[in-house]
A = this chain, B = another copy of it.
Amino acid sequence: MPHRVVVIGGGFGGLYAARALRGAPLDVTLIDRRNFHLFQPLLYQVATGALSPGDIAAPLRWVLRRQKNTRVLLDEMTGLDPDARLVQLTGGSKIAYDSLIVATGAVPSYYGHDEWRPYAAGIKSVEDALEMRRRIFLAFEAAEREPSEAARRAWLTFVVVGAGPTGVELAGSLAEIARDTLRGDFRAIRPEESRILLMDQSPRVLPSYPEKLSERAERALRRLGARPVLGVRVVNIDAEGVTVRSSRGEDRISARTVLWAAGVKASPVSRTLAETAGARLRPDGCVIVERDLTVGGRPEIFVIGDLAYLEQDGTPLPGVCPVAMQQGGYAAKVIQARLAGALVGPFRYHNKGNMATIGRASAVCELGRVRLHGFVAWVFWLFLHLMYLVGFQNRVLVLMQWGFQYFTFNRGARLITERSRRE
């Protein structure tokens, strides 16, 4: 019987692990709760009405259809028996493995303030993004109907919490929506008078990037009409607004729409790994892995991607796609090497660069010693994202919609659907 590899999660980590096992004399099973791989770096564009979920998702079965040693199961890992080497799935069924790769990723974290969740929309799943889209466009509709000036102002105030790449991208998109997309669409309000506040504890946007790029990003955001509010800590979020604390004291901002881009924590599977396989967890639930990405002294269990915690040269690896992709490839390599009786050195992340878009034709990139900004960086960002987007059809559709948007300022996917979780 061939060696059985079970991969939990079809994100960047799991999918790249499965793909790296293509053609190997193994029996691979990829398990995901969803039937699609989601290109999360563009999820903010779904949340801001620029793309449809279908444009940035590829059915996992379709992606792996020609990989004959691999099957895909729509299911969820609910438990683990590491001694018997069995993964428990929903409904009590079990699946046996010889090697297990766990890559279930992260979910939004409210830093112990789960009571903020109903008021601050996070962005990790398609549903999250559609809910965010719903709230953004509904806010303008509510403002249009609102007779009171103060209430209208609260509807036209958008607070983005967290000034990392996602926060910057959201704030930039919001500014574009307010100033360009919706221009002329309303009769009672002027969307271009919206306030878009990008908040962070750090004294600068993109705190993990070089200072020079932070400065450029901040300038670009201001030019677009978004306002960075830095060095402030959010101490409360409710239906009416946000309370922040800074060295200048406490401040209250009336805002009906709060977007959460501040932080993530490990998916609940990490707890299962701790309870059954003795994995050690960080306070945010991430699994502390060995240098070969295995856990709990069990060389057959790999944990990769956002779920894993690993330091390199004294700094933790960031929760970004390239890390997950490289870790997926590495785990696949280790499994195959072991079967061949060979050895593989410890995992090492090769950082090819960091980037963030700020909005229309503007981005910042850091590629080793090269730093780009403005239009050049944006074109580079655009092609790199298209390159990694799975599926030829998706690439063309996304490129076309970006083209339309660039020339017409319109966003085609600004439907308000589904009921709010708030209601």
- Cβ B127 vs Cβ A418 within 8 A: yes
Instruction: List the B side residues contacting A413 at CB < 8 Å.
Output: 52, 54
- Cβ A54 vs Cβ B412 within 8 A: yes
Within 8 A of B (CB), among A362-419: 391, 393-394, 396-397, 400-401, 404, 408, 410, 412-418
CB of A137 to closest CB in B, whole Å: 6
Instruction: List the B side residues contacting A299 at CB < 8 Å.
Output: none
The yes or no answer to A235 lying at the interface (CB within 8 A) is no
Instruction: Write the chain B residue with the least CB distance to A33.
Output: B416
Given contacts A35-B141, A145-B75, contact A53 B417 (CB under 8 A): yes
CB of A124 to closest CB in B, whole Å: 14
Given contacts A393-B410, A394-B412, A397-B412, contact A74 B145 (CB under 8 A): yes
- Cβ A415 vs Cβ B144 within 8 A: no
Instruction: List the B side residues contacting A397 at CB < 8 Å.
Output: 397, 400-401, 412
Interface residue tally on A, bucketed by range: 35 or more
- Cβ A35 vs Cβ B144 within 8 A: no
- Cβ B184 vs Cβ A65 within 8 A: yes
Q: Which of A55-63, A160-168, A271-279, A312-320 contacts B (4 or more CB under 8 A)?
A: A55-63
- Cβ B186 vs Cβ A126 within 8 A: no
Instruction: List the B side residues contacting A149 at CB < 8 Å.
Output: none
Give the contacting residue for A55; candidates B35, B52, B416; CB below 8 A.
Answer: B52
Within 8 A of B (CB), among A329-350: none
Given contacts A52-B54, A71-B187, A184-B65, contact A35 B396 (CB under 8 A): no
Instruction: List the B side residues contacting A34 at CB < 8 Å.
Output: 415-417
Instruction: Write the chain B residue with the least CB distance to A405.
Output: B393
- Cβ A54 vs Cβ B415 within 8 A: yes
* Chain A window 80-106, contacts with chain B (Cβ cutoff 8 Å), 1 for yes, 0 for no: 000000000000010000000000000
Instruction: Write the chain B residue with the least CB distance to A35.
Output: B416
**SS class, residues of chain A in contact with chain B:** mixed
The yes or no answer to A116 lying at the interface (CB within 8 A) is no
The yes or no answer to A73 lying at the interface (CB within 8 A) is yes
Query: Complex: how many Å from CA A383 to CA B34?
Result: 35
Instruction: List the B side residues contacting A75 at CB < 8 Å.
Output: 145
Query: Complex: how many Å from CA A175 to CA B217?
Result: 51
Instruction: Write the chain B residue with the least CB distance to A46.
Output: B54
The yes or no answer to A39 lying at the interface (CB within 8 A) is no
Within 8 A of B (CB), among A14-58: 34-36, 51-55, 57
The yes or no answer to A423 lying at the interface (CB within 8 A) is no
The yes or no answer to A185 lying at the interface (CB within 8 A) is yes
Give the contacting residue for A141; candidates B74, B391, B394; CB below 8 A.
Answer: B74
Give the contacting residue for A400; candidates B61, B186, B187, B396; CB below 8 A.
Answer: B396
- Cβ A61 vs Cβ B415 within 8 A: no
Query: Complex: how many Å from CA A275 to CA B93?
Result: 56
CB of A230 to closest CB in B, whole Å: 34
Query: Complex: how many Å from CA A52 to CA B49?
Result: 13
- Cβ B59 vs Cβ A185 within 8 A: yes
CB of A152 to closest CB in B, whole Å: 15
Query: Complex: how many Å from CA A144 to CA B72?
Result: 9
Give residues in A with beta carbon < 8 Å to B: 34-36, 51-55, 57, 59, 61-62, 65-66, 71-75, 93, 126-127, 130, 137-138, 141, 144-145, 182, 184-188, 391, 393-394, 396-397, 400-401, 404, 408, 410, 412-418
- Given A34-B417, A52-B54, A71-B186, 18 further pairs, Cβ under 8 A: A34-B416, A36-B415, A51-B54, A52-B55, A59-B414, A62-B185, A62-B410, A65-B184, A66-B184, A72-B185, A74-B138, A74-B144, A391-B412, A396-B400, A396-B404, A397-B401, A397-B412, A418-B418
